[in-house]
Structure 1
Amino acid sequence: MPETDPNLDDLALLEDAARQAGDIALSFFGGDPRTWFKDNKSPVSEADMAVDGYLAEVLRTARPDYGWLSEEAVDDKERLACPRTFIVDPIDGTRAFLAGGDEWTVALAVVDHGRPVAGVVYCPVRRELFSAVATRGARLNGEKITVSGHGSVEGARLSGPHSIVANDDILSAGFERMPNVRSLAYRIALVAAGRVEVAAARSGPSDWDLAAADLLVQEAGGRLTDLDGNGVTYNKASTRHPGLIAAPQRLVRPVCDIISAAVGQ
């Protein structure tokens, strides 16, 4: 019998869960869901909580031995003792979701010993399912994707927050400024698909914003790093990360140097 790959099994589980979660979110989309603010002043809605509840039930039932880390759930530190952990953002880009934007996503990953091995970023409005499995490449709606072949900072398309993309020192390096994408997971997924060369994030993103999209970029031929060029490790006690960039391999070092010199970590 052929050897089974647990990562492929996990990806199939994530893909189905993401599609169903997207349908739940869409049932609230444009309907003025009840909304409140968390302690960090970020919004959360009844849609986020409905999606989170669905994902917790489906994924944790399917893999009861996996740890669990979700943006919308109390952090259970028992995950730190689990070799494998689900890292979940029920709706990444809640502000976009509430404003009627189309770039919000469901971001799901399985992390094994600190690195993602299966990941999905699903954009329900655009019906785009980005998926990846470690060592097996990245795909968009089943078709293989790769990062851009653009070879220099000059003309490289840069998406990120205003403090980065409107910085004169950064723009003077020759980047082409692109609109910001309010789902960080989707912003990074666009790098994996070759639609932009560089995605940037200010200091402060969390595991759930990054893990699935990190694997997409890696499997598409790029990297997600901090501004010193170091990769990201997940499922640690602290889920927060410094400023980051995602880019094709050849652009990582020059982009890190330019952004670090302009805005620091």
Structure 2
Amino acid sequence: MQLQEFPTDAVKELALRCAREAGELSQERLKQPFAVEYKTSASDLVTAIDKEVEQYVVEMIHRQFPDHGILGEESSGAGDVGSHETVWIIDPIDGTTNLVHQQINYAVSIAVYHQGEGVIGVVYDPSRQEMFAAVKGEGAFLNGRRLKLSKSVKLEEALLCTSVFWNKRAEQTGIDQLVKQLAGKARGMRLLGSAALELAYVAAGRLDGYVSMSLHPWDFAAGKLIVEEAGGVVTQISGLPLDYLQNSSVLACNPTFYEELRYHLHSSV
């Protein structure tokens, strides 16, 4: 891919602006009553804020880049995104349940893929005003401070994070039990409820590893690039690469104990 033919700076500037303004909009709407709906179950929520924020971002993108494809969680701008050379993958509110109950621990996630490769990833936490961002080949940053995973981590020293404990496929494959065993071997286990934030926290060294059985592209697309640009590793639990347009399991971690973590998960996949 010849990045000089891609308007990296303009796209990055727009992605950052979209994330920040979307986050500010969500914070404003939280001050007012808002509707909450079920998608597939009482634990799978969508709010009027999700829909409004996504539509806001989609309109911003189309005004500047009308020929770009958009894949969004709430389906705004949906279509045959695979036919577009450049695709924006957006989650307007990653962690909707947290937004509804806590009004913190949620994020705006925006990724841009060009010719099938992730080139820009942005995860913005509006409640803490933390902007995680990465450009392919240029590193990862938190509010302008470079993120670099340089320390060596062993499993017994690791703080891990997962979302497998309510996943039916995890129960069927037994991986939920393996992760429970990991919890007993690691220093600690967390569950934040926002995949984008959890991946960003791996990049920042706040978490040493993250395991999920089934994520949508809008859950991992931005966080994947941020982790990789910070020096981390992101694959499927099987070790195979992620497909940016397909649902997938996700294993993201500090590279110094990737093989050790994979070893403990190997028998289930």
TM-score by length of 1: 0.89
1:169 aligns with 2:181: yes
Measure, in 2, the Cα distance between the counterparts of 1:249 and 1:207: 22
Say if 2:137 and 2:229, in contact at 8 Å, map to a contact too: yes
Partner of 2:257: 251
Alpha carbons of 1:72 and 1:148: their partners in 2 closer, same or farther (altered >3 Å)? farther
What is the 5 A alignment of 1:222-241?
Answer: 222-235=232-245, 239-241=246-248
Partner of 2:21: 20
Say if 2:134 and 2:229, in contact at 8 Å, map to a contact too: yes
Once superposed, what is the RMSD of the aligned Cα atoms? 2.1
Measure, in 1, the Cα distance between the counterparts of 2:120 and 2:28: 27
Measure, in 1, the Cα distance between the counterparts of 2:5 and 2:145: 22
How far is the alpha carbon of 1:232 from its aligned partner? 1.1
Give the alignment partner of residue 67 of structure 2, picking from 46, 60, 65. Answer: 65
1:124 aligns with 2:136: no
Secondary structure, aligned partner of 2:190: coil
Secondary structure, aligned partner of 1:22: helix
Say if 1:131 and 1:140, in contact at 8 Å, map to a contact too: yes
**Code of the aligned partner of 1:169:** Q
**Code of the aligned partner of 1:181:** L
Alpha carbons of 1:165 and 1:66: their partners in 2 closer, same or farther (altered >3 Å)? farther
How many residues of Structure 1 are paired with residues of Structure 2 in the alignment? 255
Partner of 1:38: 39
How far is the alpha carbon of 1:149 from its aligned partner? 1.3
Measure, in 1, the Cα distance between the counterparts of 2:226 and 2:154: 21
Alpha carbons of 1:100 and 1:214: their partners in 2 closer, same or farther (altered >3 Å)? same
Partner of 1:216: 226
Measure, in 2, the Cα distance between the counterparts of 1:9 and 1:134: 14
Give the alignment partner of residue 145 of structure 1, picking from 130, 144, 147. Answer: 147
Measure, in 1, the Cα distance between the counterparts of 2:45 and 2:91: 13
Measure, in 2, the Cα distance between the counterparts of 1:166 and 1:127: 35
Say if 2:72 and 2:78, in contact at 8 Å, map to a contact too: no
Alpha carbons of 1:161 and 1:59: their partners in 2 closer, same or farther (altered >3 Å)? same
Partner of 2:207: 196
Say if 2:203 and 2:227, in contact at 8 Å, map to a contact too: yes
Say if 1:148 and 1:193, in contact at 8 Å, map to a contact too: no
Secondary structure, aligned partner of 1:39: strand
Alpha carbons of 1:140 and 1:4: their partners in 2 closer, same or farther (altered >3 Å)? farther
Which range moves more in the overlay, 66-75 or 95-104?
66-75
How far is the alpha carbon of 1:7 from its aligned partner? 2.1
Measure, in 1, the Cα distance between the counterparts of 2:24 and 2:76: 24
Secondary structure, aligned partner of 1:88: strand
Give the alignment partner of residue 107 of structure 1, picking from 80, 87, 109. Answer: 109
How far is the alpha carbon of 1:75 from its aligned partner? 7.0
Moved segments of 4+, more than 3 Å: 74-77, 164-168
How far is the alpha carbon of 1:176 from its aligned partner? 1.8
Secondary structure, aligned partner of 1:73: coil
Which range moves more in the overlay, 244-253 or 3-12?
3-12
Identity %: 28
How far is the alpha carbon of 1:80 from its aligned partner? 0.9
Residues 73-110 of structure 1, C-alpha deviation per residue, up to 9 Å, x if partnerless?
Answer: 16734211111100000000000000124210000010
Which range moves more in the overlay, 153-162 or 130-139?
153-162
Measure, in 2, the Cα distance between the counterparts of 1:66 and 1:256: 36
Give the alignment partner of residue 178 of structure 1, picking from 189, 204, 211. Answer: 189
